[in-house]
Amino acid sequence: MIGRLNHIAIAVPDLEAAAAQYRDTLGAAVGQPQDEPDHGVTVIFIQLPNTKLELLYPLGDDSPIRGFLEKNPSGGIHHMCFEVDDILAARDRLKSEGARVLGSGEPKIGAHGKPVLFLHPKDFNGCLIELEQI
């Protein structure tokens, strides 16, 4: 069911410093910051040859990553995103296996303009998993 790893998302306490580090120290292809007000984050994409990293920084008071950064002040890997062909079929299969889908269970439009869902980390070895329909 799951396909490609679309991205790894990393919450960072200092977006400019993290971008400079990936660009200058690690020599990666680092994009420009993009505000995503609907998702409460400012994002910088880092393109690797086979997948992407996404640096996340809180935007607004209700940012979903603010709590994560309070618990992890240095930052950390926030989630990983797998691609699926049919997000509703994926959701129904997961629910029938007892996995919890976060929120209402209805896909939302994610930062890439495509339908996404998040799965409960307690059901997946402590890892927050995003599914994105491609």
Within residues 15-74, the interface with a second copy by CB under 8 A covers 18, 21, 24-28, 48-51, 53, 55, 72, 74
Q: Which residue has the tokens 């393109």?
A: 47
List the beta strands (DSSP E) in the chain.
5-11, 29-30, 34-36, 41-47, 52-58, 76-84, 108-109, 115-119, 129-133
Quick note: the x/- pattern for a second copy over 1-20, rule CB under 8 A, is xxxxx--x-xxxx----x--
| Out of 67, 93, 102, 106, the residue judged to bind a second copy by CB under 8 A | 93
Nearest distance, CB of residue 133 and a second copy, angstroms: 15
CA–CA distance, 132 with 107 (Å, rounded to integer):
9
Nearest distance, CB of residue 64 and a second copy, angstroms: 17
**Among 23, 57, 19, residue whose Cα is nearest residue 37:** 57
> Which residues, at least 6 apart from 112, have a Cβ–Cβ distance to it below 8 Å?
6, 132
Nearest distance, CB of residue 83 and a second copy, angstroms: 9
Assess whether 106 carries a catalytic annotation: no
Annotated catalytic residue within 70, 106, 130, 132:
130
Residues tagged active-site: 130
The residue ranges that bind a second copy (CB under 8 A) are 1-5, 8, 10-13, 18, 21, 24-28, 48-51, 53, 55, 72, 74-77, 80, 82, 93-94, 97, 99, 121-122, 124-127
